[in-house]
């Protein structure tokens, strides 16, 4: 696996851009860009700023920043965790030390546009999980034919796979699970 610096330099060279081109387009100082490309971390500011520099660098070259950000996080030893959990479901099996994406499939696509408003576990069976979904604007569901409605998804295997429950609900932010026994 290449280093972050090598990855960024290869992106830039593939587009025929110079460091000065990137600096002008992103307004990130040349010394910071050189620090990124040379993997010189002690000369860079706090990670929150460096992540912004990496995003700007990649976007300037019309490249997705995900791989570069993952290389940076690995380099600095940042724990792997979801960057924006609103577009996916993640699970931790080790008290939040690490996270894994779960349930990618028909109702939870890789590029999810819906917001997960609520999660609930069945009161008697911990392998059963429910997820309430709706768009951030609360105007769409996972099923395009259900405009303005929300979705309730069910997993019976702790989130590995999901199915949509065939009920029509408003795209609200609350999900209650009641024990009917």
DSSP state of 1: -
Task: Count other Cβ atoms within 10 Å, centred on residue 157.
Answer: 12
Q: Residue 142 falls within a domain, yes or no?
A: yes
pLDDT by residue (tens digit) across 22-40? 999 999 999 999 999 999 9
CA distances (Å), origin 66, targets 18, 50, 71: 22, 14, 9
Q: State the residue range of the domain holding 31.
A: 4-76
Q: Are residues 55 and 91 in the same domain?
A: no
Kindly tell me the number of DSSP H helices and DSSP E strands found in the chain.
5, 7
- The confidence score (pLDDT) of residue 143 equals 45
Q: Are residues 62 and 39 in the same domain?
A: yes
Whole-prediction pTM: 0.47
Average pLDDT rounded to a whole number, residues 152-173: 75
Which of 46, 76, 106 terminates a domain? The answer is 76
């Amino acid at each position: 696996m290449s280093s972050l610096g090598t990855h960024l330099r290869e992106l830039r060279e593939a587009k025929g851009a110079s460091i000065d081109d990137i600096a002008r387009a992103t307004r990130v100082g040349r010394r910071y860009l050189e620090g990124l490309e040379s993997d010189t971390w002690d000369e860079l500011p706090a990670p929150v700023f460096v992540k912004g520099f990496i995003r700007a660098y990649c976007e300037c070259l019309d490249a997705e920043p995900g791989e570069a950000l993952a290389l940076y996080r690995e380099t600095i030893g940042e724990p792997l965790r979801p960057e924006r959990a609103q577009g996916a479901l993640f699970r931790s099996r080790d008290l939040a030390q690490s996270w894994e994406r779960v349930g990618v499939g028909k109702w939870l696509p890789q590029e999810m546009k819906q917001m997960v408003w609520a999660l609930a576990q069945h009161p008697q069976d911990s392998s059963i999980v429910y997820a309430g979904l709706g768009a951030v604007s609360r105007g769409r569901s996972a099923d395009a034919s259900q405009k303005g409605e929300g979705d309730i998804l069910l997993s019976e295997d702790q989130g590995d796979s999901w199915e949509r429950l065939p009920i029509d609900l408003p795209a609200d932010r609350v999900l209650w699970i009641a024990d009917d026994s």
